Structure 1
């Protein structure tokens, strides 16, 4: 068995793409940059995209080199290596230090394994067995989280600094190696799987904001390719009659990886 990889990514209009997608022999991943707040450096001199790119490269390298290591160990080592890339000018103890959310899948010993942290998603199509979706939505269920009303509705950065990469809060990758142990992990037998979708929240907003089902998402991708999902997102964002009702940006970077499972060895 092997995985047939297809991907698409697009920056939000008039923005730099802070998402990342990659795939290799039996693995794939997506990352979504955890950006800065206005007026807050996060203690780091580097752009968010710089952190995301290095983290993605490290993850891909470690997934290839250490196929028998647990995904949590691979992710932890990739975070440690990324932190070492920064140098003394960056204060990575700042709780708002730039990082990324992530979804990682791997084929091993007849299983599809996954790790999800932050607001990325893994969606597994098991044909007649149904659809399994794994989304780390802890950031959406923070108790009494104060929302700042500005150009974008978002959590107060001072509040985020108290709950990011903290027990009872939410977790992202980039400057706290222990975050890997707080990811959502699991596995399913590969023989029952027909396709797998990984995406950033720029794609999953189809289900979270615009009333699509994951079956709708998978069907459109299967019929017209992953690029069609980005077009669907942009159409929904453009036609949204009241985008200010949502916490977060009207437009976001959108990235999707689709894996078709071939039961014939390559």
Structure 2
């Protein structure tokens, strides 16, 4: 199995999602090529790395992310819910993540917006990327196609991609019209025919979120270039090792 691994929200099976602890675990593994993170804007328009629109699930705070300043968000505990070991972990800024990842690992940055919420998100995220000259090391993804269009208008060289939990045969055309070459798609929607259709259109595919070894093996078999997005990079490692051992055995026959 040669499929690249994408650590979903960092190495989120071993550390609290979207924290520097989870991101550093993924960065420390030289075989992990990608990390997927989620970005919102604080009240003072700072890109912050957190998944939900609200704070309750992954921090000791309450209310909406957008109603807190970056300093207020950084003061929250984003680790104790996962384990006491991670008590004191904070919500990182996008700048913190890019600073540590640039030159080491590519980032799939999901913009958590519906097109109305966070009207400055594309501009503020782009400023972070450009500050570290990381344009070639990121892909910007979103469920909202208008967000991707605006990002491309701001910077044509930034890669973009649609996120979708479904399928339609028009996807290659839609991506081309957006100037996008990346598709983040629920793994359950993929089959051999669809993968070939996308690849023939020059689209890079990331399958999410695959946590069971049986499912990882099944999706990986569709194409060796498919990106495997998982909370459990350790399971991807185990399957990769098994595959390499099998190759060695077959060569000796």
Same fold (TM over 0.5): no
**Structure with greater proportional strand content:** 1
Q: Scaled by the length of structure 1, what TM-score is found?
A: 0.30
**Which one has more relative contact order, counting CA pairs under 8 Å at least 6 apart?**
1
Q: Please give the TM-score of this superposition, normalised by the length of structure 2.
A: 0.31
Write 1 or 2 for the structure with the bigger share of helix.
2
